[in-house]
Amino acid sequence: MLKTALVLILGVPYTIFLISVEIAVCKIRVSENFARKIAQTWARGILVLCGLSVRVVGAEHLFKREAYVFVANHASMLDIAILLGYLPSPFLWLAKKELFRLPMFGAGIRYIGSIPIDRGHPRAAIKSMRTAANRVKGGASIVVFPEGTRSRDGRMKPFKAGAFHLAKQSGRPMVPVALLGARRALPAESLRIRRVPLVLVITPPIPTAGVEIDKNELARMAFERIQRVQDECEPGFGKES
């Protein structure tokens, strides 16, 4: 718990400072690229404060000027920092609207181009999905946690269809991403940070344009890809040091 207390003591002012800089600059001239640089700096700094390092596997699968729909498993608060800090492709989030209401943090994620989704109101959610699809069609990559919420036991929940409908609607490749070690480092039910290795595994893109494949099949393929990586790597992986 001492490590957690230290992260809070140093991390809170660090976070406030960087988000304040982002808000101040973007109020003068809105720049998603600048906001993303700030977000990446924040994320990497937070992970350093936690004593954690991240290894990226599979970056060679991504092309610099291509837009993707990334789908990732979600089992820890650290997942956001891992993706912001180390996913080697600029992206925006499709995130639950409650996050946008958080003081400062909400403004911070809005300035990187993130799109709020109201899961309790289907009509509003559909509108958000259309907005996201248009952004992706226009060349912006997006990250979605298709489980909707964090897994409490480390086992993936069934994937919701929205992310895969988005991939089909935009015609952009879908990329399943496996996050390994994050739950052991910081489980959903705990505030104790454990020092374990973290790995971000980028699997090969799955084409969606001009392919006879529906959203349910895409969801199945993404789930199986991520599950396979977990099955191959997670047993005995990330023991506390």
Query: What values do phi and psi take at 143, rounded to 5?
Result: -115, 135
Cα Rg of the chain (Å, integer) = 17
All domains of the chain, ordered by start, with CATH? 2-233 (3.40.1130.10)
Inter-CA distances, 59 with 48, 106, 128, 202, Å: 21, 29, 29, 6
Sign of CA dihedral 169, 172, 178, 182: negative
Calpha distance 208→47 (Å, rounded): 34
pLDDT by 10s per residue, the chain, length 241: 556 676 777 878 888 888 888 888 877 776 788 888 999 999 999 999 999 999 999 999 999 889 999 999 998 999 999 999 999 988 998 888 888 888 778 888 888 888 988 877 888 888 888 899 899 999 999 999 999 888 877 789 999 888 898 898 899 999 999 999 999 999 877 778 899 999 999 999 999 987 788 888 999 999 999 999 998 886 544 443 3
C-alpha torsion 20→128→145→217, nearest 10: -160
Coil, helix or strand for 144? strand
Residue given tokens 């991939």 in the structure block: 167
